[in-house]
A = this chain, B = another copy of it.
Amino acid sequence: MALAHAILTALVDEELSGYDLAKRFDASLGHFWKASHQQIYKELSKLEQRSLVAARVIEQQARPDRIVYSVTEAGLAHLRDWAGAPAKPAPVKEDLLVMCHALGLVPAETLRTQMMKRNAYARERMEMLQRLEAKLFPDPAALKGRALGQYLSLRGGVRYERLWIDWSEECSALLEAREPRLKGHP
């Protein structure tokens, strides 16, 4: 359900095609949210059926026509209703949590390797997000409206990666303590 709202939100500022949206979801919101173009096209036609967005065709020569969408009044109202309704926490479906529970069947070293890989990944992402933060929002105290929202979600992203860095290190340390390396690692 939330993909629909993410699309509506993106369409508020500007008319966008499905193709544009798919790219957009790789950029701003897309730091957290991934949606494939297939899914976006599907969702857009559903939204159009419900009259929450309006389509407009832009003819092009030498390549397929673009179909751009904008939010309707009904779409805006729908978005506001949604924002007022209680949001429920997304379920956490992390493979690494399941692997933790599988410890004992699976060697501690295997899990530790996974944790260290995740650590490296989280570090990279955190740095990337922090660079973005410094570049786009040098003065957070002055932010308001749309920009403030983007800043807050970036902060959430940074905190999220921080969580992974810290937790994976805690896991790694405890797993190593339990199963010390024997050779080749001083």
Contacts and interface: CB of A to CB of B under 8 A. Distances in A.
B101 A6 contact: yes
Contacts of A42: none
A167 B149 contact: no
Contact of A163 (B159, B174, B175): B159
Contacts of A167: 155-156, 159
A114 B156 CA distance: 15
Most buried by B among A118, A152, A167: A152
A178 interface: yes
Given A159-B163, A159-B166, A166-B159, A96 B87 contact: yes
Contacts of A177: 141
Contact of A146 (B97, B103, B117, B162): B103
A90 B94 CA distance: 6
A76 B150 CA distance: 45
A141 B106 CA distance: 20
Nearest to A99: B83
Contacts of A148: 103, 108, 174-175, 178
A67 interface: no
B171 A97 contact: no
A147 B103 CA distance: 8
List 3 A-B pairs, minimum CB-CB distance, nearest first. Answer: A103-B149, A83-B106, A104-B146
